[in-house]
Structure 1
Amino acid sequence: MKRTGKCPKCECTNIIADAKVIDRAHGNIQQELSIATFRNPGALFFKEKQETTVSAWVCSSCGYVEFYADHPGTIDLSEDE
């Protein structure tokens, strides 16, 4: 949807772009949903967490949703060259 501007399910072109996805943390506090990767997941400490928030693209007709990382480069696990 982000690239085509069209819903892959119903082909509607009325797309709600870049909607923020709200999560509830401890104490019912609202925060933006995020995803994380870890460069060293097996470590006890210093796992090297990499994180980014997530945005949603929503079809206004059928409600289909796609999630996109706001900053995908910050969670990239490929080796530095």
Structure 2
Amino acid sequence: MVHLSDLSWDRQGEEAMEEYKKGEMVKAVVLEVDVDKERISLGIKQVEGDPFAEAVEGIRKGAIVTGEIVEVKDSGIEVKI
């Protein structure tokens, strides 16, 4: 089974499911094997690698960066670097 959250890095829920059709062959990464429940969890997006991890590859704790404020919320601000 591939959970909705493991279909796409940039598309969520039903929107991510629109890409797939019954009978289609896909590549997936085995995320978990649960012998007791006889279930294997798969991830399709993981085959491509995490784009966030690639984007922040050169950024380390303590680094000084410049960014643009893209959203102001009650919980904080979102900054694009």
Q: TM-score of the superposition, structure 2-length normalised?
A: 0.24
Larger Rg: 2
Q: Which has the higher relative contact order, 1 or 2, with Cα contacts under 8 A spaced 6 or more apart?
A: 1
Larger fraction in strand = 1
Larger fraction in helix = 2
Q: TM-score of the superposition, structure 1-length normalised?
A: 0.24
